[in-house]
Amino acid sequence: MNIKVEALDAPCGARITGVDLGTELDAATYAAIHQAWLDYQVLVFPNIEMTEEDQIRFTKHWGEMPLRKRYAGRREEGRRSHESIMLISNIRENGEPIGSLPDGDMMFHSDGQYDEHPYRYTMLYALEVPSSGGNTLFANLYKAYETLPDDLKNRLCDVQAQHGYYAGRHVTPEILKTLGIERVADNWAHPIFTAHEETSRTVLYVSRLLTQSLRGLPEDEGNDILDRLLDHVESTDLVYEHVWSPGDFVIWDNRCLNHARTDFSAGERRLLRRTTVQGVRPGAAVETAA
């Protein structure tokens, strides 16, 4: 295959063409995709046809597909061939969504950040998308660390952030209701500054949807610093906005990206198919400011 990698004019991301994801790829093509992932963090395969079997085969190449422990209702049963697939949809039958996370916008987060072993990769295939909105935003957490003021790098070099399942300090009951989420007790603390397991680059690992607090700091100071960090990682100069078209397959590295969703009309259909790859517990970065 003649794979082509084109960097996007954005803080992260590349467009990948010349790859037939409807077949098993050869080792050289997988290696080229992997290198592009490390270089650009989020990859866009535009206008492709992909069955569930194709997506599962591709996903399994990169590691274990974790079984989903929870989702918003059981309405996906019978609509997917593998238990780790998530249907993200606002389409309703008999008044109930056929998938998860149906409506509204969604705060920035990294998938599984509240677990000991967050997801390594997330992959989304677009089946139906609204005419506008429902875009996915990707925030580059490498650049978030690199552009963080030195005083915060020094203050936080040994601090951990506490994360919870849809339990970020700005998450309200109204937000949970819109997303169709019931809060559960899953939570875990990770270093604020983690090291990417392959590149060893430092990541600013906090998110608005999942980060509850900073451990070991006085509450008022911790909340103030956390809010500064959240505003910083969501700076527009760190974010790529993907505008979906049907047939887009977008894959990203959860170890160094946050993602979010923009709002869209409840009157238009949206259906995407998600798979994930299990990761490992993030290690602390050794890099600190001078």
User: Is the separation of the CB atoms in 276 and 66 below 8 Å?
Assistant: yes
- Element housing 16 (H / E): strand 14-17
User: 65 to each of 30, 238, 280, how far by Cα in Å?
Assistant: 18, 29, 13
User: 151 to each of 118, 155, 225, how far by Cα in Å?
Assistant: 28, 6, 11
Locus of tokens 């309405």: 75
**Lowest pLDDT segment from 18-27, 59-68, 149-158:** 59-68
Tokens of 158: 């040994």
User: Is the separation of the CB atoms in 282 and 255 below 8 Å?
Assistant: yes
pLDDT at 72: 44
pLDDT at 93: 87
pLDDT at 94: 86
List the alpha helices (DSSP H) in the chain: 27-40, 52-61, 141-146, 150-155, 173-179, 219-233
Q: With 70 as the cut, is the pLDDT of residue 203 above it?
A: yes
Edge to edge, what strands does the sheet with 271-278 contain? 4-7, 14-17, 42-45, 249-253, 119-128, 271-278, 86-89
User: Is the separation of the CB atoms in 30 and 3 below 8 Å?
Assistant: no
**Lowest pLDDT segment from 56-65, 81-90, 102-111, 187-196:** 81-90
Select from 252, 151, 281, 144 the least CA-distant residue to 202: 144
Strand 160-164 relative to strand 211-214: parallel, antiparallel, unpaired? Answer: antiparallel
Multiple choice CATH, 4-284, 3.60.130.10, 3.30.530.20, 3.60.15.10, 3.30.540.10 = 3.60.130.10
Strand, coil or helix: 58: helix
pLDDT at 99: 86
The more confident residue out of 14 and 95 is 14
pLDDT at 192: 98
User: Is the separation of the CB atoms in 135 and 261 below 8 Å?
Assistant: yes
Give the integer Cα–Cα distance in Å for 57 and 51: 10
Query: What average pLDDT does this structure show over 218-242?
Result: 98
- Reported pTM: 0.95
Predicted confidence band of residue 73 (pLDDT cuts 50, 70, 90): very low
Strand partners, 220: none
Q: Please, what is the average pLDDT of the chain? A: 93
Select from 22, 44, 23 the least CA-distant residue to 33: 44
Strand, coil or helix: 238: helix
Main-chain phi, psi angles of 279, to 5 degrees: -110, -165
Predicted confidence band of residue 77 (pLDDT cuts 50, 70, 90): low
Predicted confidence band of residue 70 (pLDDT cuts 50, 70, 90): low
Select from 44, 68, 36, 12 the least CA-distant residue to 257: 12
Q: With 90 as the cut, is the pLDDT of residue 184 above it?
A: no
